[in-house]
Structure 1
């Protein structure tokens, strides 16, 4: 789904160069100033962005636009539904295999994005804060962000259903196997990593390389986040775009410190509550809540 480039040229010298001293370890993470790093051509950066998005959430956005157009042509959105985390086979262990393969391959664009960000001699995980150097604050901020988004997000969905601009979203359609809840938790973590690393961390780095300012990044990232949720209707588009504004603002703020871990934590919590909660909620409760 992607490709990368790094060329090293060697030559024979009459006098061999002295071997470099072994690197020393430091407890702190050092960041190479961006101005001292080799620059990339703007056209190459733009092309790279398109490749990463086409292999991941950009493709999802295109499919979501086609999906909402198809749904609108079929009738009112209120009478339609869409299912997440659907079963792939009636055979339990074959279904489990398909689910795990889907989660694993969905994370390949994350690996690609991190690999591409490392092409200038710096740690890509350190550049976007995808590490465990601040576990306490990251977890605390993640829980706070999840709380700030969770209730308004549910309100967006319910209002959208009442207005007829949101389809019924079935957050889990898996059968009740012993592995159902663990797989749903893994799916939530996969969503958190995929979306926050690419739509926030990677995109911020590359748009900054192109000279984009903070608010252009916030706007573009938020619209992209909303667009690949359009298959659920216009309510989820607006709700996820608003979530994108909050997440990108936080990421670029003095509190966020350009770290994606709090965003991954928040996103994972939100999806666990949605996926597992929906799977465990009695049908009578779902009907009464309009879920």
Structure 2
């Protein structure tokens, strides 16, 4: 005899699930980022004279540093697996729900590249403006040693950021908030504000830029029902930022 374990999921259960998923992932990051920006604003130096470092070295010993970097990337993806698992529970194949399948590789790649250009080029101008206004910290996208594994790790870190953020903050969150009956405008605003919030540690320019990116990406997901182009776009943006910073002369990035 086969037992059917499937059952309707209540709104209360979905709401609790969303809070738990965000609590172990980017919602937690948003809270820490809010505390961080308060600390920066109350420090004895202006925000524009402070530094926010991404992809920092974890150890002076290269093999141990590499181990830490890979473990950080690996465990950062666990909330993604959790979100997909929970969607599988009541929606069947979450890859289809989120648009993570490989049915449209050419379209996904083209849309992803287009979104990267759409977000990336104006984003540079916004970062420059934020730096000029003094409302951002000095962002250091990569601070790894000059070693053979630095660029591969930065590429993996870029992909990890993209997978985590786009699947959890767009694919999963937008889907679940729609399940809860939220209106489209509120769904987009929630996703965008969350994205901006966990970038607050970089400053207010980063908040605004990432919130705008969140609006665009949420609209694209709602229209296409596919998160894969967003993952591609985000990966391209971060690879250019991380690897470019690590590879090009530092004076090119003084405006960050």
TM over 0.5: yes
Distance 1:268 1:164 in 2: 28
Off by >6 Å, runs of 4+ in structure 1: none
Deviation track 1:138-163 (CA, whole Å, cap 9, x = no partner) reads: 00000000000001111111111110
- Whether 1:282 and 2:232 are equivalent positions in the alignment is no
Match of 1:205 among 165, 175, 179: 175
- 1:233 corresponds to which residue? 203
- Whether 1:264 and 2:213 are equivalent positions in the alignment is no
SS in 2 for 1:131: coil
Deviation track 1:87-119 (CA, whole Å, cap 9, x = no partner) reads: 011111111111000000000000000000011
Distance change >3 Å, CA 134–CA 83, structure 1 → 2: same
Deviation track 1:203-246 (CA, whole Å, cap 9, x = no partner) reads: 12211111112221111100000000000000000000000011
Match of 1:104 among 62, 74, 79: 74
- 2:20 corresponds to which residue? 51
1:38 Cα deviation after fit? 4.6
Distance 2:91 2:247 in 1: 47
SS in 1 for 2:57: coil
SS in 2 for 1:82: strand
Deviation track 1:175-229 (CA, whole Å, cap 9, x = no partner) reads: 1110100000000000000000000110122111111122211111000000000
1:284 Cα deviation after fit? 2.8
Q: Is the 8 A contact 2:9 2:90 kept in 1?
A: no
**Deviates further, 101-110 or 153-162:** 153-162
Distance 1:283 1:184 in 2: 17
- Whether 1:179 and 2:146 are equivalent positions in the alignment is no
- 2:38 corresponds to which residue? 69
- 1:245 corresponds to which residue? 215
Distance 2:136 2:127 in 1: 7
- 2:9 corresponds to which residue? 40
SS in 1 for 2:89: coil
SS in 1 for 2:42: helix
**Deviates further, 208-217 or 99-108:** 208-217
Q: Hey, which of these two has a bigger chunk of helix by percent? A: 2
- 2:95 corresponds to which residue? 125
Match of 1:190 among 160, 166, 186: 160
Q: Is the 8 A contact 2:191 2:218 kept in 1?
A: yes
Distance 2:166 2:131 in 1: 27
Report how many residues are paired. Answer: 253
Distance 1:133 1:238 in 2: 34
Question: Mind listing any 5+ residue stretches in structure 2 that lack a counterpart?
Answer: none
Deviation track 1:66-101 (CA, whole Å, cap 9, x = no partner) reads: 000000001311111110000011111111111000
